[in-house]
A and B are shown apart, each in its own frame.
Chain A
């Protein structure tokens, strides 16, 4: 059916990556470059009374020091989102109030990194320590106000109440939850708490800047959102957009952590003031402490149902720990509801309530899964409980009650991103096939029965086995908000330049976008010279977030290539003296329909259009926004063994079936699934933030934080069960985020199957599991 799409094309940057020859931000250095170090707050909550940098300035080699004393106090949000951002403007580059351990105090630029670090030690900061809020549940009722008199405000008209420490609030009601609950014969209340999580992209955050020969500021940065960087740096550093160019070179992983504008304004100000190149690279500890993370969450599902399993009503409540600033506080919260509640769309009464609150703990942000990771553990376990109670098989239950093609959920319209959502009907879905296929691959029915309490298999054993599953949906781009665009021009040998604002984080989007253009123009992937993520030379794209690149940027590329196709056909027809309806594309040529011998090659066509007659440059640009956000679907099955002596949960097998529409590149798509699963497993079983009594993160290294290594991974089976999404490029939907959501709920359900006990807190680390097993 397809020639270049749905093919395992090798990544176009692959060989350069594995030979170490590609350049990442820190690999760029310039003559006369300054090195920047940042002083971060050691207090969770404090007022800076004075900064005395006189000693530091005396050190030879110190060139510039930035602090509240010489940087304008401009409110902004570090969230790299579309404008106006749905996150509150509550952050200053260098403010006078420190709101978490890791907040920016000041920055030093010096001739060497060693001098900059030395100078940091010589800066005397006088703080007035303030009482911090270090407990999510106590924030709202606390007399301590975190954003008291800094003028923090929401950029869009949404609920925001800094005086009560409320960073965001979301509510949606479909039908009547209370009435339906009253009428229900059975009820369940189930709560679940998710821990903080770190992205742990192996490349730390870095930015390098310099002035070009026209006096413009060039910023090379580890960013998922180059166009948002340009806009926000302009705002914070007070430099016109026209004077800023942002380039994203190769990026060493993002996962949402690089959707924040943190380092760029600092190097921008240094370079703008000193006229010298500047480089800032965060240490791993700085990345852990000072950048952004997955929000801590407390969720609760309440539902009313009947003995046949019919759920009359379901309420999902979420309390989110925004940390010191409200980056993504509103939108992650809204997604906690909008990416779960439509899954079982036949529940007539639905309620979502959510609140994001300020604390003096690390700042949350975007993280792969974006709210769905946080809400599925409670949601999926509650559904599992209904099935257990009613004697139903949960796989069959999902098959019966899940959203199907042509159906909708009122939640799509009720929950948007900072405003109402967009109503839509589901087009493509292979969720039912995913359920069937996953059940088969994991031997679900037999194992569920074998390990369940009735079989006696686990009775009296130290090592207890269980199997569990979770079904999920996510989205593809933010409908009617996100925009992507592409530009293509033809060269005289029949090759093409493809310029996209889209941002390849290592996912392979440069490659799959070329595959999409190849398919439209019937020419090999090698014909495309791909250039991406440069605000001077590529057209606008909101950036790599919200599972949007394949679906949204891909469709912009397809539209653009279709436009090129029209131009090529027109020139081809002219050259063959045929009318437009008598010609077609065929393997890098225009041919007379049905007569392959009458042909002109792409090279001949471009040369004709450049040099011979009716000359013009074959070129086009196209933009795309989506009227909907078609969900990808996934079903995860996990088989575990619980060591009841040590509390260690060993994953024996992990099976994922995934509907991403048409996988544009099955190998890179599988890679997205596997990577997300392992990140999800690591988060479900180990990753957490441990704090000192003063709110300082204690485990701020890879070793202490505990990222999974190759040695930790279980056997993983992935199967892509295709569907065809009419609104996506060649049927494609997103795939990058959804598969991080499965590990927590599926393992929790497997744990119940093995032990008869429910889990209420992630991660499922051995000490926590022992407590659950001993009933403490």
Chain B
């Protein structure tokens, strides 16, 4: 069946089955930026924002999200219009294999939206649901801190 969803501020019709998870529905409809690392809600690679809150899309039925605002990592910035946070991830070297990056970026985005000047502890806690095996998290946490510094220095509001 085809169901209308609001994804990245655009109305989209997704072809899906009633029992599909949001992760399946998104990936089957070319939103491959949402990654599947475990399908059990434990790695955070499939993180999307539902009405601005990060969720593991493998643990959400697609139909339960159809009246909500869905944001994937492309919704905050793309290759040609990257978000400050995404640019800072690359500058800082927080990008290794990149498989956790879409989820990690969204978890960090959601934190900075709510708390633009988080402490290191608050960053660690906010990223706790997103696994990364490449970086040891060091440069990822640095990237979030660096973004916060840029927001502060340039008096920017997190968009």
Contact = CB atoms under 8 A, between A and B. Distances in A.
Interface of A: 8, 10-11, 13-24, 26-27, 199-204, 250-253, 255, 281, 283-284, 505-508, 667-668, 670-671, 674-679, 701-703, 707-711, 713, 716
B136 A508 contact: no
Interface of B: 32-40, 42-43, 45, 72-74, 77-79, 82, 86-87, 89-102, 105, 123-125, 127-141
B91 A671 contact: no
B40 A284 contact: yes
B89 A18 contact: yes
B82 A19 contact: yes
29 contacts: A10-B93, A11-B93, A14-B89, A14-B98, A18-B90, A19-B77, A20-B32, A27-B32, A202-B45, A202-B100, A203-B37, A253-B97, A253-B99, A255-B133, A506-B97, A506-B99, A507-B96, A668-B96, A675-B133, A677-B136, A678-B136, A678-B138, A702-B43, A708-B137, A710-B127, A710-B128, A710-B132, A710-B141, A711-B127
Contacts of A716: 136, 138
B133 A679 contact: yes
Nearest to B94: A18
Given A255-B133, A713-B137, A18 B35 contact: no
A21 B86 CA distance: 12
The residue in A27, A202, A284, A676 that gathers the most chain B C-beta atoms within 10 A of its C-beta is A202
B157 to A, nearest CB: 21
B134 A675 contact: yes
Contact of A23 (B32, B102, B129): B32
A252 B91 contact: no
Contacts of A702: 37-38, 40, 42-43, 131
Contacts of B125: 711
B138 A674 contact: yes
Contact of A674 (B98, B101, B135): B135
A599 B94 CA distance: 40
A585 B38 CA distance: 51
A19 B74 contact: yes
A49 B39 CA distance: 34
Contacts of B36: 26, 204, 281
A703 B95 contact: no
B124 A250 contact: no
A18 B73 contact: yes
Nearest to A713: B137
Contacts of B135: 671, 674-675, 678
A18 B101 contact: yes
Given A203-B97, A203-B99, A702-B40, A18 B86 contact: yes
Contacts of B93: 8, 10-11, 667-668, 670-671
A701 B40 contact: yes
Contacts of A202: 35, 37, 43, 45, 97, 99-100, 131-133
Contacts of A15: 79, 82, 86-87, 90
Contact of A710 (B73, B78, B123): B123
Contacts of B32: 20, 23, 26-27
Contacts of B132: 202, 710
Contacts of B35: 20, 24, 202-203, 252
A282 B101 CA distance: 21
A199 B37 CA distance: 13
